[in-house]
Structure formats: C-alpha cells, structure tokens
Structure 1
Amino acid sequence: MELTSDALVNSLLALGAAALLATLWLWPRLARQRPLPVLGRIGLLTVTQVSVLAVLALSVNNSFGFYTSWDDLFSPGGAKLALTSNENHHGGTPVSDAPIQPTDEGDLESITDLPKGPPEEVGKIQSVRVTGKETGLSDQMFVYLPPEYFDPKLSMVRFPVLLALSGYPGTTQHLVKELALPQTAWELRKAGKLTPSIIVMARPAVVAPRNTECVDVPGGPRTETWFAKDVPDALRATYRTSRSPSSWGVLGYSTGGSCALRLAMRFPDVFGNGTGMHGDFKVVEDQFTGDSLFGGDRALADRSDLSWRLQNLPAPNLSLMVISTRKETDYPDTVKFVDLAEKVAATNPQFKVESLYLDDGGHNFDSWVRELPAALEWMSARLTWN
C-alpha cells in the first residue's frame, strides 16, 4: 500500500481497534505475574499504541505532505533511485536512462473525480519521477496531457507547458485532490476557455521536509536550478513541448506562488508567464528553511527579493499575475509590489503585471480553489504555440 493511501490509514485503524478490543477481552486472563502473561500485556499495549501513533503520523503526513512515498520516507532526496523504463512520447522505443520515468507514487488511484474516458477524449494524467542531470535531485510529479496530445492529426504539434507548484508543506496530490487543478482545467477546456496545454504538477519541497523556498542553497540543494533547468530540460526531452519562453508558464499558491513569481522574474528566458496566488515577494527564512538559505550572502538574498529586482535591475520581458484577497495579512505588501511593478512596466512595454483580489478569504484552499479558474484563464490567454 502507498504511504499516502487511505487504505493504509484504515488498515492501521482497524488494527488499533482490534488490539484495543483484544486488550479488554484478554486483560483478565493475563493478570498473573508470570513471564508469559506479562509479555502478553506488553505486546497488547505496544500494538495498540503503535497503531494509534502510526495513524496520527500518517494523517499529519497526508495533510501536510512531508513524504509522498516509502522511497521518499526512507531515501530522502531520492537522487540515487534506480531508473527503470519510460514511454517515449516522441514515438521512439523505451529507454532506461530517460530523465522522466513512470512511477506508482502519488496514489493517483485514490482520486475518484478525475475525468473518465479514453486519452483522446479526456486527456491523461501520468505519475512520473523526474531526475535532474544538473542537480541530481529527483521527485515525483503529475503530468496532465490534453486530449489533443493524442490526436494523430496533431502528432507533430508542440504544446504549451504550465508548471504548477503546491504550497509548503504539500504534495503533488494536493494539486489534484484539494485544488482540483486538472479537473478545473478540463471543465474550462470543455467550455472553450482554456488552450490545450501540458500541465505539470510539482511541489516546492523537493528535499522534504526542508523548505528551500525554491532557491539554490550555498553548499546545499539547488532547487532553483532544479525548477529552472532540470525540470524544463526533462520535459522537453520527453514530451512534445513548445520551445519559446512565451509558451511556458509557472503558477502556484502559497509557497508555490512565491516560487512561481520568483522563477518567472529570475528566468524569463524559461518562463515567460507567472502567476502567484497568495505568494511572498521576498524569501522568508524560518524554522522550516533550516540554516540560512543564502549563507549570509546579502547579494544572493537581494537577487531573490522581487521588489529589489524591480528597483535595481532592468524589467524582464514577461507577464505576471498576482492574486490574493483583501483579508490576507500580506495584502498591503501585495499592493505595494503591484504598484511598484506597474511603475516599472511603464519603462518596458514587454513587462506586464496584473492583479486580482477577492474581497474575502484567507490563506487556504477555499480561496485558492475560487481563484484558480481566473488564474488558468489568464495564463491560457498568454501561452503561445511556438
């Protein structure tokens, strides 16, 4: 059973309940102060308590997404996982050293509201493991291929790409189960409001449980390079993706929203479009990020501060969408960033920023689910086919 599966939690619940009933039933029979009865009492208590603690630990993990699989739990970082085989979407034969490999991780089977039907009608969601050649990092992701991807008439067509990032702590499953990203994309596609695109769903916490805020940590994980180079390179090598920056977008919520805006601002030659829902504009360092993310290097920290970049560096050629609510605690900071970006945009017509604010809502999935359709429509209108 998968680490994140409901079946595992339910099995442990059943085991704990059975152990509790057995304890109540057998305790009088094990009351003697002899070795075997004493061992019996210890065994019953151990099974009961371990089952309860395991259920609590799994429930916390499933809610916050620290680990997505058994491999993720016992082999953190996953960079040295053995590769198996991969379906080559260019029409070639399976290869053993491809950067993207199929995997059973992510517990996709437990999500029951995904579009049903053949790939050429509803598209297809794949669970894959991506391994980076530049950084050596490896992580599980979901890839949604639209129905048009399987149309023989479009076999030579390259598709726009949207990289979607969850929050921290969070798993790729949160993008499918809680945010309902592919389900929403499918409904918008049926309504003619979304261009056919490859949607890649990932988490910022590539080296969970640490939160690196999608930056290259001096002497540590290079998660910025992972998202800006390794992941795009792997996708281009595996799928029929468009090549130009204007055909690539990055979107996220919470920490994923911060990462999305930062990746677009720092790498406009990769992501020509970025959307951040309830993101920060400066890297936040706290107990979850571990030691200093920048090693005390103020210059590195400044370059990851989006307001500093707007004030000190030329405005990049890209389109940004900032989404939040007027009840968010960081709403004033969001307004300041948007005002600054709009002033800078006057000096570079190729730099565009737009904003969208809900009147109410907090830092939660209720707000992000309401904001998602507008975020996807905005992104779809800007992703080009080239």
Structure 2
Amino acid sequence: MGLTSDKVLVLAIVIAAVLFIGTVWLWPRLARRSWRSVSGRVALLLSTQVALFACVGLAANQSFGFYASWADLFGTETGQGIVVDHSVNGSSGGPLQVVSTAEVPGVRAKRPETGGQVQKVDVVGRTTRIATPAYVYLPPEYFQPQYRTRTFPVAVVLTGYPGTARSLVDKLDYPSTAQGLAKDGRVQPMILVMLRPTVAPPRDTECVDVPGGPQAETFFAKDLPDAVLSHYRAGKRPGSWGVIGDSTGGYCALKLAMRHPKVYAAGAGLSPYYKAPIDPTTGDLFHGDRMLRNRSDLFWLLRHETAPDTSLLVTSSRVGEHNYTSTMRFIERAQATNVTRVSSIILDSGGHNFNTWRREIPPALQWLSGRLTDR
C-alpha cells in the first residue's frame, strides 16, 4: 500500500485505536512495581504515541502532499525519471514524452473537447540533461476543431519543497480552477505545465545553476519551454509564458520572471521568500561564487541590476505568514524601479499551507491570464 493510500491511513487509525483501548484495558494489570509491569506500561505508552503521531503525519501528508511515496519519505528516491519512447517507429520522440492521459479531476466531462485533459509527461532537458516528470493541463479549446490552428499561452506551475507535482492537480486543483475561470470568462484558456522545482531529488536546488551540479535555472528558462513548444501548440511570442508557484516555487517563479523576462512575462509567488537559503536540503549551491549568490537574492537584483521589464505578483497574510514584512519591503522596492510592475494579494490571516493557497490561486490565475498574450 502506498504512502498516500487511504487504506494506509485507515489501518494506522485502527492500530492507534486498538492500542489505546488495549492500554486502558491492560493498565490495571500492569499497575505493579515489578520491572515487567513498568516495561509493559512504557511499551504501551510509546506504541500508542507512535501510532497517534503516524495517524497525524499520514493525514497531514495526504492534505499537503509533502511526500509521494515511501521511497520519497525515506530519501531513497534518487532517480531522475525515465524517458519513455512512444513513437511508432521506436525513434526518439523529442524532449517531452506523454506517459498517460486522464480526465480533469472534479470536472464532469468524459471528452477532452468539453472537459479538457491532464497528461502525465516526462521531460528531458536537451542542454541540461535534467529529466523530470510533470503534468500538463490542456483546456477543452485545445481539442476543439475551431481552435486547431490557435496557439495557447502557458503557465508553468511550481510546487514548494519537497512537494509533489500531483498535488498541483488534485490538492491545489489548478486544472479544475483554470477551467472554471475560463468557463466564466474570467481567464483565457491556458496550458498549465505543473511540476516541482526539485528537478534533482532529493536535493533542493532553489532553481539555481549549481556550479558542477544540476543546472536548474537553465532547465526552467530554456529546456522546459523548448520541450513544451516541441510538443504542444503553445505560444512562441514574447508575452505568451508566465510562471506561478507557492513557497519555494513562489521564490522560483519570481526569480525566473525577473532574470528571464523575455521568457516569462509574468511571475506570481504565493507565500514566497526572496533569497535562496543554504541548509542541509540545498547543500552548497554557490561554491564560493559571490555573484551567483547575489543574483539569487531578489532584493539584490532590484538594487544592483537593471530593473526587469516584467510583471510580478506576491502574496502574504498579516497574521500567519512569516514573510509579511519582507513582502511589503519587496513591493516597495519593486515600485521604486518604475519599471518592474508589482501587484499583491494580502490576506488578513492565513498560514503557509494549501488552504491559504487555494484562496489565492483563483485571483492569481486571473492576474496571470491578464498579462499573457493568446497567440
């Protein structure tokens, strides 16, 4: 049974309940002061506590999508994905391969022409050789005959760290949200490319071109757009692409839009931070390269480099988010450039979690759609 399986959670709850009942039932028998009775009480208490913590942990993981599998949880998942050749003649099919297709969760429509489609894909960077899985949402219009010659704007959607790409589909509901907004005429039909910024798991690369390591920034700035354009009717003109993400993905979204405005015309950071951290999950990202470190600091970019001609959206909460003060400083700094356009969503309260981001995603997608061209 998989880590995110409902059966695993139910089993953990049953075990915890049995241990709790057993502790209450056996406690009088273990009331003596002998070493066996004391050991029995300790064992029952520890077992019950572990079972309860397991229930809470499994429930939290199902809600927030921190880990996708047991291997992901224990850090034994180190593979960078497998390229699957789906071409008829067995020849190379390009940098993007479709692995499977599915209906959009929460949308009652069997045909892609009316309900859109979610495709699981494998992407391999031609220049970076980074391989990573992703999900692609195609709106219903993509499959309708009257739009067969039309290209569509693209929004790259990034998770936090560690995150799972699947959580963007069925936890944060990006495809169904985008489709509902488009149906109501509040956003234009867009292609969503959903993946996690952790393209070299389990390492958190913070979308940095690590010297001698994964070239994560180049992957997102060059390889990913090239792969998507090679396979889908995506917009090729400047202004056709945007990027949005939460937490680590929010930092990456802002950085990509600021450092590569000719690729990403707009970037939305939900609960972002503004400087790449160095901790056990990232390792040494900069290898003593001071300029690389500086250019991973978004405040430094606004102070020392030419202000990027791009649009940025940042979100925070007055109560519940640790980034509120830095977000207000970032807004002030970006406004002072008179070039970089900045918008914000500031909630009265909301934590660093999926519930908060689900409140911010609909207006953020509307904002992003309004800044992307449709051809």
What's the TM-score once normalised by structure 2's chain length?
A: 0.81
CA distance in 2, matches of 1:337, 1:14: 45
From 309, 334, 347, give the equivalent of 1:317: 309
Distance in 1 (alpha carbons) for counterparts of 2:270 and 2:357: 7
Determine if contact 1:64/1:169 at 8 Å carries over to the other structure: no
Kindly state the Cα deviation for residue 14 of structure 1 after the two structures are TM-superposed. Answer: 11
| Offset of residue 68 of structure 1 | 4.5
Q: Given the alignment of the two structures, is residue 83 of structure 1 paired with residue 72 of structure 2, yes or no?
A: no
Q: Which residue of 2 aligns with 1:24?
A: none
Q: What residue is the counterpart of 2:44 in the other structure? A: none
Offset of residue 84 of structure 1: 2.0
Structure 2 match to 1:353: 342
CA–CA separation in structure 1 for the residues paired with 2:57 and 2:352: 24
Describe the SS at the equivalent of 1:246.
Answer: coil
Answer yes or no: is 1:173 the counterpart of 2:166.
yes
The reply to whether residue 253 of structure 1 matches residue 246 of structure 2 is yes
CA shift for structure 1 position 62: 5.7
SS at match of 1:140: strand
- Counterparts of 2:313 and 2:231 in 1: how far apart (Å)? 29
CA 141–312 in structure 1, closer or farther in 2 if over 3 Å, else same: same
Question: How far, CA to CA, are the matches of 1:4 and 1:245 in structure 2?
Answer: 40
Counterpart of 1:100 (choices 78, 96, 99) is 96
Distance 1:342 1:14 in 2: 51
Structure 1 residue 238, shift from structure 2 partner: 0.4
CA contact (8 A) 2:80 2:199 kept: no
Segments of structure 1 that go 5 or more residues without pairing to the other structure are 21-51, 87-91
Deviations 1:46-84 (A, max 9, x none): xxxxxx999999878766757647998999554473422
> 1:234 Cα deviation (Å)?
0.3
Name the structure 1 match of 2:209.
216
Query: 268, 275, 280: which is aligned to 2:261?
Result: 268
SS at match of 1:157: coil
Alignment-derived partner of residue 273 in structure 2: 280
CA distance change for structure 1 residues 138 and 70 in 2, over 3 Å: closer, same or farther? farther
Instruction: Tell me, yes or no, if the aligned pair for 1:83 and 1:96 is still in contact at 8 Å.
Output: no
**Other structure's SS at 2:349 match:** coil
Q: Given the alignment of the two structures, is residue 201 of structure 1 paired with residue 190 of structure 2, yes or no?
A: no
Deviations 1:63-111 (A, max 9, x none): 675764799899955447342216xxxxx99864321122259xx78x8
Partner of 2:228: 235
Aligned: 1:305 with 2:297? yes
**Deviation sequence 1:286-341 (CA, Å, 0-9, x none):** 2221x221112111010111111111111112111111111221211111111010
| Paired residue secondary structure (2:286) | coil
The question of whether the paired residues in 2 share the 8 Å contact of 1:245 and 1:272 is answered with: yes
Assess if the C-alpha contact under 8 Å between 1:78 and 1:139 holds in 2: no
CA distance 1:156–1:136, shift in 2 (3 Å): same
Counterpart residue number, 2:175: 182
Once the two structures are overlaid, the 10-residue window that deviates more, 73-82 or 136-145, is 73-82
Q: 1:2 to 1:356 in 2, by over 3 A?
A: same
CA distance in 2, matches of 1:63, 1:376: 22
Counterpart amino acid of 1:319? Answer: S
- Kindly state the Cα deviation for residue 115 of structure 1 after the two structures are TM-superposed: 4.4
Inter-partner Cα distance in structure 2 for 1:93 and 1:267 = 37
Answer yes or no: is the 8 Å Cα contact 2:159–2:249 preserved in 1. Answer: yes
Q: Which residue of 2 aligns with 1:23?
A: none
1:374 corresponding residue in structure 2: 363
Question: What is the correspondence of 1:133-152 to structure 2 with a 5 Å cutoff?
Answer: 133-152=126-145
User: What is the Cα deviation at residue 148 of structure 1?
Assistant: 0.8
TM-score (norm 1): 0.78
One-letter code aligned to 2:241: W
In structure 2, C-alpha distance between the alignment counterparts of 1:216 and 1:56, rounded to whole Å: 37
Equivalent residue number for residue 384 of structure 1? 373
**CA 67–93 in structure 1, closer or farther in 2 if over 3 Å, else same:** farther
Cα pair distance change 1:103/1:368, threshold 3 Å = same
> Helix, strand or coil: the match of 1:179?
coil
Instruction: Find the aligned partners of 2:123 and 2:55 in 1 and give their Cα distance.
Output: 30
Supply the distance in 2 between the matched residues of 1:326 and 1:220 (Cα, whole angstroms): 38
Unaligned runs of 5+ in 2: 20-50
Distance 1:243 1:143 in 2: 17
Residues 99, 115 of structure 1: alpha-carbon distance in 2 compared, 3 angstrom cutoff: farther
How many residue pairs get aligned? The number is 342
